[in-house]
Amino acid sequence: MNDVVISVRELTKRFCNFTAVDHISFDVHKGEIFGFLGANGAGKTTAMRILCGLSYPTSGSGTVAGYDVMHDGEEIKRHIGYMSQRFSLYNDLTVWENMRLFAGIYGLTSKQTEQRSTELLDRLNFSSERNTLVGSLPLGWKQKLSFAIATIHRPEVVFLDEPTGGVDPVTRRQFWELIYEAANEGTTIFVTTHYMDEAEYCSRLSIMVDGKVQALDTPARLKQQYAAESMDEVFRTLARGAKRGE
Amino acid sequence: MRAFLVLIQKEFLQIRRNSFLPRLIIAFPIMIMLIMPLIMTMDVRNVNVAIVDLDRSTASRRIASHIEASEYLTLTHTTTEYSRAIEALEHGMIDVIVQIPEHFDRDFMIATPQRISITANAVNATKGGLGMQYIMQTIALSLSEMRSESVPVEISELVTIENRYNPTLNYRHYMIPALMIILFILICGFLPALSIVGEKESGSIEQINVTPISRFTFTLSKLVPYWIIGLFVVTVAMLVARLAYGLVPIGSVGAIYLGAILFILTISGFSLTIANFSETMQQTMFVMFFFIMVFMLMSGLLTPIDSMPDWAQKFTIILPPRYYIEILRSVYLKGSTIAELNSNFIALGVFAIIFNTLAALTYKKQA
């Protein structure tokens, strides 16, 4: 298929004698919301960091937006957005200053920056907080802002590492609306989460156990396959087999 | 280019928003330059002297009055018992004992008298040694006066002394350039490192690493703000030195700025390199302190390089502050020109290139 945005083959990352990511392979298609599930320590973040060009794989291959994860890390970075598990915008800058900074880094002109940030702030109902210091925002708002900034340059793929951890149910719902809107515009979403209700929103899911991809399919078919009522049950069945502690 | 500009803008915004940094950058140079020269002096003053006068003669009184008149010496005890004086010395009340033997005056006029004995407390070696010298000069002066009254020869006319470049032998004029360098090391050496490690600790560096910004641009964006701040600091320091201590460079201010431009780049590049190898603030601070100790104590800031052991003198070749202190002192006190000091400027330029290239190369966006 031509619309493959992320393609991973036998990707492996070893730290000393610990194999964090163990020969994983999968494809992600354009416009998909790809859920990347797994217990803590299953290797999700490590795999995601490799795909974002933050970390080198030990072996195996992968391409993101057509660029090789081993050699073209910097090219990949032009075409992706990334939202880390830990809030990592500048707390001592305002909402607008953070937007201007990252827009500038991705090479938007000041006119484009103005346009795009106004658009994003409107979508977030955030226009009144334009000049608020980011550090003083509540967590849910910070996460929405992080997402907005990760998409400020209209990347082909957005990587979200537990974007809704610690966020209240109402804000989580709003957050997923943002994700859907981005996906509808053709952005591919690669998301990790521990919330099984969120897993149900994904187009396809992979579940990692001990560094390996144990299951990969749509939520409906996974439930069928494991004869489960909910994704929660599927996850428990798979995670029970884990040997690694947390 | 736009990426670089927004990064610089971000650095300045962050410095301005910090509740502490802007005050530090303004107050620190002024305080250091105002107060430290008063304290950091090697001029020995207030040497307390006891005279054990066993002679009680015109000669002994004359020596006593000369000691009293001296700017550096204070006559605190006059006694006739050596044991009393020694006791006072042991208690730290006096620094030097001058014992004038019996019949000194009489013998001095007719033949060779018994020797005057001088005992100094050399626990503080500088004070003891210099105190001893002052006493000897003072006594020699008294004796030559007495001699010249009987024999018309002015001994003091036979010797002339001139201190070139620092005519008043003012220790402050020697120390002020060193203080300027200490300021650079503290402000332009610590702040860039702390700024990078601060981003590592807060996690924001990860958001930067996942963007296509090149490591050279990012390193440069950490360098330029502190470079500008450093030039501000050198201006303040020169103004304070001039207004408070009347120290004006004999040579050109341009030479001082050119040196500052290169030296700040060097020390900031060094600090960024350290930051790239550190994960936490504590680690950065500790490693920086180690190097700063070496820089301050071995670069000839406080003690002359010429009096160091041979191996240490060779070692100073790789210490960047050594070159800038030479530039500052020569320009300030001797009026040397850039051309005369070209090897120092070249050395600083080479260091600046090495450390900044190293800083950019050791910055890892992908691990």
Could you report the per-residue pLDDT of B239-293, keeping only the tens digit for each? 999 998 888 899 999 999 999 999 999 999 999 999 999 999 999 999 999 999 9
How far is it, in rounded angstroms, from Cα B218 to Cα B44? 50
- Which of A50, A72, A91, A92 is most worth mutating to test chain B (most B CB atoms within 10 A of its CB)? A92
Q: How large is the ipTM?
A: 0.90
Burial A34-72 (b: 16+ CB within 10 A, else e): bbbbbbebbbbbbbbbbbbbbbebeebebbbbebebbeb
Lowest mean pLDDT, pick from A37-46, A230-239, B130-139, B348-357: B130-139
Mean pLDDT score across all residues of chain B: 86
Residue A49 lies in a domain: yes
| Residue-wise DSSP of A48-101 | HHHHTTSS--SEEEEEETTEETTT-HHHHHHHEEEE-SS--S-TTSBHHHHHHH
Radius of gyration for chain A, computed over Cα atoms and rounded to the nearest angstrom: 18
Residue A228 lies in a domain: yes
- Please tell me the predicted confidence (pLDDT) of residue B166: 58
Contact call for A73 and B365, based on CB within 8 A: yes
Phi/psi of residue A121, each to 5°? -65, -40
Contact call for A93 and B6, based on CB within 8 A: no
* Domains, in order of start, for chain B: 2-40+168-361 (no CATH), 47-158 (3.40.1710.10)
Residue A168 lies in a domain: yes
Q: What does each C-alpha distance from A2 to A10, A30, A66, A182 come to in angstroms? A: 21, 9, 11, 21
Q: What CATH number is associated with residue A73?
A: 3.40.50.300
Cβ-based neighbour number of residue B84 at 10 Å: 14
How far is it, in rounded angstroms, from Cα A27 to Cα A13? 18
- Among candidates A53, A90, A92 on the partner chain, residue whose Cβ is nearest the Cβ of B366: A53
Using a CB-CB cut-off of 8 Å, the residues of chain A touching B7 are 101, 104-105
CA B314, B315, B318, B321 torsion-angle sign: negative
Task: Name the closest residue on chain B to residue A146, using Cα atoms.
Answer: B207
Asked if A55 reaches chain B (Cβ–Cβ under 8 Å), the answer is yes
Using a CB-CB cut-off of 8 Å, the residues of chain A touching B203 are 84, 86-88
Q: Which two tokens stand for residue B325?
A: 């202190």
pLDDT in tens, A213-225: 888 999 999 999 9
The domain in which residue A195 lies consists of 4-239
Using a CB-CB cut-off of 8 Å, the residues of chain B touching A90 are 10, 14, 204
How far is it, in rounded angstroms, from Cα B13 to Cα B10? 5
Contact call for B206 and A54, based on CB within 8 A: yes
- Among candidates B5, B10, B366 on the partner chain, residue whose Cβ is nearest the Cβ of A55: B366
Return the SS3 of A27.
strand
Q: In this predicted model, which residue has the larger pLDDT, B28 or B110?
A: B28
Q: Per the structure, how many domains does chain A have?
A: 1
Question: From start to end of chain A, where are the E strands?
Answer: 4-15, 18-29, 33-38, 59-64, 67-68, 80-83, 157-161, 188-192, 204-209, 212-217
Using a CB-CB cut-off of 8 Å, the residues of chain A touching B2 are 104, 107, 109-110
**Contact pairs from chain A to chain B, CB under 8 Å:** 85
Task: Name the closest residue on chain A to residue B207, using Cα atoms.
Answer: A88
Closest Cα to residue B366, out of A11, A46, A50? A50
How far is it, in rounded angstroms, from Cα A100 to Cα B6? 7
Contact call for A74 and B14, based on CB within 8 A: no
Asked if A97 reaches chain B (Cβ–Cβ under 8 Å), the answer is yes
Amino acid at A209: V
**Bridge partners, A234 (sequence order):** none
- Please tell me the predicted confidence (pLDDT) of residue A133: 94
Contact call for A77 and B212, based on CB within 8 A: yes
Question: From start to end of chain B, where are the E strands?
Answer: 47-53, 73-79, 96-100, 117-120
Average pLDDT estimate for A23-36: 93
Q: Which two tokens stand for residue A80?
A: 């992706």
Residues 118-147 of A with CB under 8 A from B: 133
- CB-based contacts of B141, cutoff 8 Å, min separation 6: B66, B156
Contact call for B2 and A109, based on CB within 8 A: yes
Interfacial residues of B (vs A; Cβ cutoff 8 Å): 2-3, 5-7, 9-10, 13-14, 17-18, 202-214, 365-367
Residue A246 lies in a domain: no
pLDDT in tens, B192-227: 999 999 999 998 999 999 999 999 999 999 999 999
Closest Cα to residue B276, out of B347, B340, B199, B330? B199
Contact call for A53 and B10, based on CB within 8 A: no
Categorize the per-residue pLDDT at A2 as very low, low, confident or very high, splitting at 50, 70 and 90.
low
Task: Name the closest residue on chain B to residue A88, using Cα atoms.
Answer: B204
- CB-based contacts of B196, cutoff 8 Å, min separation 6: B205, B222, B272, B275, B276
The answer to whether residue A14 scores a pLDDT higher than 70 is yes
Using a CB-CB cut-off of 8 Å, the residues of chain B touching A78 are 212
- Among candidates B3, B208, B212 on the partner chain, residue whose Cβ is nearest the Cβ of A104: B3
Residue A109 lies in a domain: yes
Task: Name the closest residue on chain A to residue B201, using Cα atoms.
Answer: A88
Counting every residue, how long is chain B?
367
Residue A245 lies in a domain: no
High-pLDDT (> 70) share of chain A, %? 98
How far is it, in rounded angstroms, from Cα A54 to Cα B158? 78
Q: What does each C-alpha distance from B344 to B155, B318, B336 come to in angstroms? A: 44, 12, 12
Contact call for A107 and B3, based on CB within 8 A: yes
Task: Name the closest residue on chain B to residue A83, using Cα atoms.
Answer: B207
| Residue B212 C-alpha, separation from nearest chain A C-alpha, in angstroms | 5
pLDDT in tens, A41-52: 888 999 999 999
Contact call for A86 and B206, based on CB within 8 A: yes
- Please tell me the predicted confidence (pLDDT) of residue B162: 54
Burial (Cβ within 10 Å: 0-12, 13-18, ≥19) of residue A26: middle
Contact call for A106 and B13, based on CB within 8 A: no
Beta strands B96-100 and B117-120: pairing type? antiparallel
How far is it, in rounded angstroms, from Cα A187 to Cα A34? 11
Q: Please measure the distance between the N-terminal and C-terminal CA atoms of chain A and give it in whole angstroms.
A: 38
The answer to whether residue B130 scores a pLDDT higher than 80 is no
The answer to whether A54 touches B366, Cβ cutoff 8 Å, is: yes
Task: Name the closest residue on chain A to residue B17, using Cα atoms.
Answer: A92
| Residue A245 C-alpha, separation from nearest chain B C-alpha, in angstroms | 25
Lowest mean pLDDT, pick from A2-11, A232-241, B106-115: B106-115
- Please tell me the predicted confidence (pLDDT) of residue A111: 94
**Bridge partners, B314 (sequence order):** none
Radius of gyration for chain B, computed over Cα atoms and rounded to the nearest angstrom: 28
- CB-based contacts of A156, cutoff 8 Å, min separation 6: A5, A30, A65, A79, A80, A187, A188
Beta strands A188-192 and A212-217: pairing type? unpaired
The answer to whether A51 touches A82, Cβ cutoff 8 Å, is: no
How far is it, in rounded angstroms, from Cα B257 to Cα B265? 12
Residue A159 lies in a domain: yes
